[in-house]
């Protein structure tokens, strides 16, 4: 089912009550950390996305509701936040529903134990889960990273073994770029679910990563540039919608910029939201505007597909010449260094994963951070050892690309055999590099190409160099 979660997180609400002076509970902080780590380990794109759902809408004394039971019937992984309180709670019924379907030794139950002094209940003690002791000590983040890696590995395995559980990707979906507006905190769960849904339908989602703004002008400029690349603007709204702030991008800011960019838009609010409870008159007026759809979340997702069919031409797939077996064999084990700025890291990781999985090549990705000497040494080592270098000319300025090429020329001069170097131009409006390049460097026109086609362009050029 296209709207069911890959990961269902089960816990009792009493364990998630914030401590005095804190805004978020322990479980919320843990889940937010897992989401970040899973995003890093699974990357982005249709084949690497995932969805996560929690039971945080339940009260402590509330039994499993019908819609929750349906989600449990279709979920791939059950993540249990185990505590003494959970064993005495109504939420324990969720575990029973899941185990009744998959059994106790499926390897799809992951257990996080909140306290190291807990005694397992007799029905839970024998389960073949992944027990991770989460305690408040310096090892917390290492343990969190470990379980995120185990979850990511399991999702990849299940996606290959049980396609009925991890949803299939439609072959005839329209290719489109969607700007998914940053939501208020109360809508983050819906936001993550919608983002996963869009990835599964082969849509590119902007922004690629959270915005970091130095000024209001820079904020608006960056959002506007992403909006101009998009076919559709999507926005989730609630009564927590903020109208005015000097610190963050408000929903109204994003909506105004979408109108300025003159792109189609869809806005959603839950049809269960009682507008009489909205006290701020500006927020209420925004929620009542004609562009906001009041409906169920699942219906809104269907409307997105319908809307895209009217605003996006279904482009035929770009024909790709198949590579010979000789070339494919020659590509295996080739070491490729992908260089990009932090703004293009998501694309770099996606390309690297495709190179490894499709062509069995070895890839080194750019470092996200480090001391200047460390970054320079990492760059030089990879340039000295690689068979080819792929430089992404996307969100990076022209000056950065020129600096990287100068560094390539300097380091490669020490090698007897020169590596193949390719600069991938992602956007058609980019400045010309105006630089004379040696024969082993190619400037590739990859404008408006999906990652798979970009790699085909790269491999085609590399083929001539092998």
Same structural domain, 155 and 18: yes
> Does residue 134 have a pLDDT over 60?
no
Distances (CA, A) of 146 to 46, 125, 142: 24, 21, 6
Tally Cβ neighbours within 10 Å of residue 144.
19
Mean pLDDT of 376-390: 91
Distances (CA, A) of 361 to 352, 459, 465: 9, 11, 16
Q: Look at the chain and report how many structural domains it folds into.
A: 3
Q: CA angle, corner 120, sides to 37 and 189, nearest 5?
A: 30
> Does residue 57 have a pLDDT over 60?
no
Residue 2 maps to a domain: no
Distances (CA, A) of 337 to 99, 291, 367, 455, 465: 45, 46, 11, 13, 16
> Does residue 264 have a pLDDT over 50?
yes
Residue 393 maps to a domain: yes
Residue 111 maps to a domain: yes
Its domain, for residue 214, covers 177-311
Domain boundary among 101, 136, 161: 161
Residue 320 maps to a domain: no
Residue 317 maps to a domain: no
Same structural domain, 302 and 395: no
> Does residue 143 have a pLDDT over 60?
yes
Q: How far apart are CA 12 and CA 55, in angstroms?
A: 8
Same structural domain, 298 and 360: no
Alpha helices of 88-244 — where are they, by DSSP H? 92-102, 122-125, 140-161, 188-200, 216-228
CATH of the domain at 37: 3.40.50.10140
Same structural domain, 215 and 98: no
Same structural domain, 109 and 193: no
> Does residue 110 have a pLDDT over 90?
no
Tally Cβ neighbours within 10 Å of residue 408.
24
Which of 43, 49, 113 has its CA nearest to residue 79? 113
Residue 58 maps to a domain: yes
Q: How far apart are CA 65 and CA 58, in angstroms?
A: 9
Residue 50 maps to a domain: yes
- pLDDT at position 173, please? 40
Do 101 and 73 meet the contact criterion of CB atoms below 8 Å apart?
A: yes
Tally Cβ neighbours within 10 Å of residue 30.
22
Contacts of 293 (CB under 8 A, 6+ apart): 266, 267, 268, 269, 300, 303
DSSP annotation of 136 reads: S
DSSP annotation of 349 reads: H
CATH of the domain at 357: 3.40.50.2300
Mean pLDDT of 388-412: 87
Residue 319 maps to a domain: no
Rounded mean pLDDT of the chain? Answer: 76
Long-range contacts of 407-412 (CB under 8 A, 24+ apart): 407/379, 407/380, 407/383, 408/383, 408/441, 409/438, 411/379, 411/380, 411/383, 411/384, 412/383, 412/440
Q: Is the pTM of this model over 0.75?
A: no
Same structural domain, 58 and 198: no
Same structural domain, 185 and 155: no
Mean pLDDT of 387-396: 87
Same structural domain, 25 and 130: yes
Same structural domain, 181 and 156: no
Same structural domain, 65 and 115: yes
Mean pLDDT of 42-48: 53
Domain boundary among 137, 161, 185: 161
Domain boundary among 161, 185, 204: 161
Q: CA angle, corner 264, sides to 263 and 268, nearest 5?
A: 130
Kind and range of the H or E run holding 451 = helix 451-465
Question: What is the torsional sign of CA 369, 371, 376, 382?
Answer: negative
Same structural domain, 22 and 155: yes
Same structural domain, 263 and 408: no
């Amino acid at each position: 089912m296209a709207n069911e979660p890959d990961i269902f997180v089960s816990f009792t609400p009493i364990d998630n009550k914030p401590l005095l002076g804190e805004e978020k509970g322990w479980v919320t902080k843990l889940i937010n950390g897992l989401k970040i780590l899973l995003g890093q380990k699974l990357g982005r794109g249709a084949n690497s996305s995932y969805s996560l759902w929690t039971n945080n809408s339940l009260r402590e004394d509330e039994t499993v509701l019908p819609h929750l039971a349906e989600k449990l019937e279709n979920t791939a992984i059950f993540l249990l936040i185990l505590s003494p309180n959970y064993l005495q709670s109504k939420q324990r019924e969720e575990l029973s529903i899941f185990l009744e379907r998959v059994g106790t030794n499926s390897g799809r139950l992951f257990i996080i134990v909140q306290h190291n002094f807990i005694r397992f209940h007799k029905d839970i003690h024998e389960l073949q889960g992944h027990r991770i002791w989460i305690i408040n000590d310096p090892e917390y983040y290492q343990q969190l990273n470990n379980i995120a890696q185990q979850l990511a590995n399991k999702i990849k395995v299940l996606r290959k073994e049980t396609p009925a559980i991890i949803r299939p990707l439609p072959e005839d979906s329209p290719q489109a770029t969607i700007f998914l507006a940053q939501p208020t905190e109360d809508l983050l769960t819906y936001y993550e679910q919608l983002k996963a849904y869009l990835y599964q339908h082969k849509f590119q989602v902007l922004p690629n990563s959270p915005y970091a703004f130095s000024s209001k002008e820079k904020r608006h400029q960056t959002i506007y540039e992403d909006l101009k690349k998009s076919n559709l603007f999507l926005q989730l709204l609630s009564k927590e919608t903020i109208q005015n702030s000097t610190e963050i991008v408000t929903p109204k800011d994003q909506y105004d910029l979408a109108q300025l960019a003159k792109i189609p838009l869809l806005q959603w609010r839950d049809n269960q939201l009682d507008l009489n409870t909205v006290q701020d008159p500006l927020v209420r007026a925004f929620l009542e505007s004609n562009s906001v759809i009041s409906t169920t979340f699942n219906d809104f997702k269907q409307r997105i597909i319908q809307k895209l069919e009217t605003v996006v031409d279904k482009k035929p797939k770009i024909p790709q010449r198949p590579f010979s077996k000789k070339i494919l064999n020659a590509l295996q084990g080739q070491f490729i260094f992908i260089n990009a700025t932090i703004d293009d890291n998501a694309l770099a990781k996606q390309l690297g994963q495709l190179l490894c999985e499709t062509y069995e090549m070895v890839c080194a990705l750019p470092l996200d951070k480090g001391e200047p000497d460390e970054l320079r040494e990492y760059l030089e080592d990879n340039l000295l050892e690689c068979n080819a270098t792929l430089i992404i000319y996307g969100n990076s300025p022209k000056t950065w690309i020129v600096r990287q090429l100068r560094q390539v020329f300097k380091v490669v001069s020490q090698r007897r055999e020169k590596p193949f170097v390719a600069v991938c131009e992602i956007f058609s409006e980019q400045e010309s590099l105006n630089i004379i390049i040696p024969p082993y460097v190619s400037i590739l026109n990859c404008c408006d190409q999906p990652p798979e086609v970009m790699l085909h362009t790269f491999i085609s050029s590399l083929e001539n160099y092998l």
